[in-house]
Amino acid sequence: MSTASLPSYVAPSFSRTPSYTAEPTAYEQRLALNRLRPRPSGEITKQSKGGGVSLRFVAQANDATLPVYGCGATVEGAVEVAKPDGVLSVDVKIKGTLHLKEIAEGGTVTYELCLSRMSLWNKDRDLGVCPPSLSFSLPLPSTFNDGKNDFPLPPTHEVHLNGMPGFRATVEYSVTAYVDKGILKKAATSILPKQQNSMTEPIPFHLTLTSSAYSLAAFMPYGPTPSLLSPNKQHTRIKLLRQSIVDVRNTVVFGTKTDIWRVKTIGQGSFQRGSGTVDSYISTESPIAKAGLLSNIGSSGAKSSGAKPGIVIASPSTTNPDYLYTWTRDSSLVFKAIIDQFTSGQDPSLRTLIDEFVSAEGILQQVSNPSGTVSSGGLGEPKFNIDETAFTGSWGRPQRDGPALRSIAIISYANWLIANGNSSWVTSTLWPIIELDLNYVASNWNQTTFDLWEEVSSSSFFTTAVQHRALREGSALATKIGQTSVVSNYNTQADNSLCFLQSYWNPTGAYITANTGGGRSGKDANTVLTSIHTFDAAAGCDATSFQPCSDKALSNLKVYVDAFRSIYGINSGISSTAAVATGRYPEDSYYNGNPWYLATFAVAEQLYDALIVWNAQGSLDVTSISLDFFRQFSASVAVGTYASSTSTFQTLTAAISNFADGFIAENAKYTPSDGGLSEQYDKNSGSPLSAVDLTWSYASALTVFEARSGFTSPSWGAKGLVVSSSCSGNTGGGGSTVAVTFNVDATTVFGG
């Protein structure tokens, strides 16, 4: 695999890197040290043949047999001449010799690199008689010159090549003393650069591969599963390689260029398909979910024939139910997931599709429909035909979450484009689409709307929350690209909607009431979906924007999950603190009311999001509001702040991560063997129900898998938001009432 095709990855938000000490431990070895250390006092002496000349090296270790030098060290010592009379000159020279031996044929080439030379005594320069001892001090050079250019000093090690032509290349360093008395006398020795010391113990290395489950799953086909016949082959191996290249300057031996190289494995590790249910489900389901999602996008999706480019079909199902339409909500949530994969570098191939989505939505905005024209409410129309014409049948309309979700998706693409130097395209092409949606949100957020389940006409937590997010992000984007005229209105309406958002909290029941109308308990996946789709890791556990780890959102999650424990047959017998399958809301009667894949995944995703933040901030808070949630995992836990070093933090986060995995395992249990995700599964038999291949189900699988691996979407500005002191919806407030009108007209439409 070339490095160009390696999957890109997202830096982990938590660290599992082992700690290191400055001093080498049992299995580590120091390769170089440039710090001053006590000078060793050992000496090494080498003599010429016949003993007339000695080469003495000082500052060596006591037990050394060859002089050893670190990189850039000074070679120090003395040349001793037994009979100095008649000496003409004394020189000392450091040489590097490169021996290239062609193993099969026995050919040898030797290159000598003269690295440095020093004249210690010369009859013509120095007066008198040559002294019997001449000291020298020569720095070990870090480069050599081939007569023309300087090159870095080659490392000393042998290169063994397998195959033809086989070379053995050895680089040696030596110091030689030359005493000229008419005849040349030499004393020489090899010296060892310190780096050459061979490793006697393996050095452990640690490598963390963190990426989306999808991109890591790409390795799985190469990771054979264990079998009785090949029990040792179950791992995908990772090798740490050292590549040695000997660049022999333009030399040709026997007609072959002599540049030679070798790759040697100096470390090895392995990873394997996780043994747990959840790991193996994710590795199989990720590629299926991604492919299933892409199949439902026109015009080239395998299951979406007839859909225009960039149009997302809700499902290919045409009867019971007929979902072969495009919903603005489903499409925008699906494309938000796609855009996050693109902007985070996980999948650069998605860009064309994103551009097609943007143009398709720009076209749909202009289609007059039963909700109105582009300027008279048509943007609130929930669904269209897949050929981009209006759907004119009766329906629960308008649904005002659509324009908010669509602008959130396109704004995330716009922010990436700006960061990558394409602001002009944002201004000319994206902004006109975003602005229509945001203007609609700014003027209509406080109007009655059908909820995301298309049933209750009132005000809806999910809708208000995504409208608030869209206005905040929209105002920031407008500021960035100089569209300043809209900013103050967006900010005012964002503040107002944030104020109203607080009013959904039910302090008595300790949960978020999903809709202001509808006559139900109000316990609803609506609120959990809100938490994951307005998650902003930068906001910490802020309760004002109901962040996943906020006390209100956690308490709400427990109340919501518990509402499904006794109403589905498949949940019976499951412990009251373990994961169960969850649906839209307990009173649901659509297909008799069943678990939904996207609802059960959303519970896990909220918990993974919470874990990401707790790990990043290094602590978690247990408040009186979230106490019941945390007591599920430790009956004795008390209100307080627990640092990540405490056993309470560790116990709770381990149990919560396990709890989160349990929700994935529930869906895994009821995923058919082909991996297809429909909308629901039967509450008693667990068999898939309702629309097959629901695009939104696939997107919910991809986002929960990513959250489990630590991935977070870019921030949208939720950090530090405060509810205005004049907000009546602020439970801590008590100020005057904010000037907002709600036209609430509650109706329930069941069945489809």
Examine residue 637 and tell whether it contacts ligand NOJ (CB under 6 A): no
> In the window 262-321, what residues touch ligand NOJ (CB under 6 A)?
314, 321
Question: Which of 347, 451, 551, 666 is the catalytic position?
Answer: 451
Q: Is 279 noted as a catalytic residue in this protein?
A: no
Amino acid symbol at 539: A
What is the rounded distance in angstroms from the CA atom of residue 691 to the CA atom of residue 386? 16
Nearer to ligand NOJ, 329 or 400 (CB): 329
> In the window 543-602, what residues touch ligand NOJ (CB under 6 A)?
590
If DSSP states are collapsed to H, E and C, what string results for 162-220? CCCCCEEEEEEEEEEEEEECCCEEEEEEEEEEHHHCCCCCCCCCCCCCCCCHHHHHCCH
Nearer to ligand NOJ, 471 or 691 (CB): 691
Question: 135 and 59 in contact (C-beta within 8 Å)?
Answer: no
DSSP, collapsed to helix, strand or coil, labels residue 484 as: helix
In residues, how long is the chain?
A: 752
Nearer to ligand NOJ, 320 or 488 (CB): 320
Residue with the CB atom nearest ligand NOJ in the bound state: 752
Examine residue 751 and tell whether it contacts ligand NOJ (CB under 6 A): yes
Taking the complex as a whole, the smallest distance from the CB of residue 463 to ligand NOJ amounts, in Å, to 12
Tokens for 529, please give them. Answer: 């979906």
CA neighbor of 704 nearest in space, from 200, 278, 93, 273: 278
| Region near ligand NOJ per CB under 6 A, out of 32-40, 149-157, 326-334, 569-577 | 326-334
Please list, in sequence order, all residues whose beta carbon lies within 8 angstroms of the beta carbon of residue 195, skipping any fewer than 6 positions away: 31, 32, 70, 71, 155, 156
| Region near ligand NOJ per CB under 6 A, out of 87-95, 160-168, 322-330, 738-746 | 322-330
Taking the complex as a whole, the smallest distance from the CB of residue 689 to ligand NOJ amounts, in Å, to 13
Taking the complex as a whole, the smallest distance from the CB of residue 543 to ligand NOJ amounts, in Å, to 26
Cross-strand bridge partners of residue 187? 177
Examine residue 699 and tell whether it contacts ligand NOJ (CB under 6 A): no
Examine residue 717 and tell whether it contacts ligand NOJ (CB under 6 A): no
Chain-centroid distance, C-alpha 359: 29
E strand or H helix that includes residue 618: none
Nearer to ligand NOJ, 676 or 733 (CB): 676
What is the rounded distance in angstroms from the CA atom of residue 319 to the CA atom of residue 641? 53
Taking the complex as a whole, the smallest distance from the CB of residue 430 to ligand NOJ amounts, in Å, to 24
Q: Is 102 noted as a catalytic residue in this protein?
A: no
Tokens for 368, please give them. Answer: 């007059």
| Region near ligand NOJ per CB under 6 A, out of 96-104, 170-178, 305-313, 450-458 | 450-458
Nearer to ligand NOJ, 694 or 704 (CB): 694
Nearer to ligand NOJ, 321 or 370 (CB): 321
β-strand 619-622 against 640-643: which pairing, if any?
Answer: antiparallel
| Region near ligand NOJ per CB under 6 A, out of 112-120, 169-177, 447-455, 610-618 | 447-455
Examine residue 696 and tell whether it contacts ligand NOJ (CB under 6 A): yes
> In the window 452-471, what residues touch ligand NOJ (CB under 6 A)?
452-455
Taking the complex as a whole, the smallest distance from the CB of residue 702 to ligand NOJ amounts, in Å, to 16
Residue 493's φ and ψ, nearest 5 degrees, are -70, -30
Examine residue 384 and tell whether it contacts ligand NOJ (CB under 6 A): no
- How many positions of this chain bind ligand NOJ (CB under 6 A)? 14
Q: CB atoms < 10 A from the CB of 510, how many? A: 20
Question: Which of 361, 381, 437, 454 is the catalytic position?
Answer: 454
If DSSP states are collapsed to H, E and C, what string results for 325-346? CEEHHHHHHHHHHHHHHHHCCC
Nearer to ligand NOJ, 343 or 526 (CB): 526
Examine residue 752 and tell whether it contacts ligand NOJ (CB under 6 A): yes
What is the rounded distance in angstroms from the CA atom of residue 165 to the CA atom of residue 517? 83
Residue 268's φ and ψ, nearest 5 degrees, are -150, 140
Taking the complex as a whole, the smallest distance from the CB of residue 547 to ligand NOJ amounts, in Å, to 23
Taking the complex as a whole, the smallest distance from the CB of residue 684 to ligand NOJ amounts, in Å, to 19
DSSP, collapsed to helix, strand or coil, labels residue 312 as: strand
Tokens for 573, please give them. Answer: 């017998």
Taking CB under 6 A as the criterion, the residue among 136, 144, 323, 601 binding ligand NOJ is 323
What is the rounded distance in angstroms from the CA atom of residue 374 to the CA atom of residue 403? 11
Residue 119's φ and ψ, nearest 5 degrees, are -90, 120
Nearer to ligand NOJ, 173 or 590 (CB): 590
Please list, in sequence order, all residues whose beta carbon lies within 8 angstroms of the beta carbon of residue 99, skipping any fewer than 6 positions away: 108, 109, 110, 168, 169, 170, 171, 172
Nearer to ligand NOJ, 329 or 683 (CB): 329
Nearer to ligand NOJ, 382 or 662 (CB): 382
CA neighbor of 331 nearest in space, from 307, 351, 300: 307
Question: 27 and 203 in contact (C-beta within 8 Å)?
Answer: yes
> In the window 327-346, what residues touch ligand NOJ (CB under 6 A)?
327, 329-330
Taking the complex as a whole, the smallest distance from the CB of residue 453 to ligand NOJ amounts, in Å, to 4
Taking the complex as a whole, the smallest distance from the CB of residue 451 to ligand NOJ amounts, in Å, to 9
Query: What are the Cα distances from residue 436, in Å, to 366, 418, 488, 623?
Result: 10, 20, 16, 41
Tokens for 507, please give them. Answer: 């302090």
Question: 12 and 707 in contact (C-beta within 8 Å)?
Answer: no
DSSP, collapsed to helix, strand or coil, labels residue 30 as: coil
Taking the complex as a whole, the smallest distance from the CB of residue 214 to ligand NOJ amounts, in Å, to 22
Residues annotated as catalytic (active site), given as ranges: 451, 454
> Contact residues for ligand NOJ (CB under 6 A)?
314, 321, 323, 327, 329-330, 452-455, 590, 696, 751-752
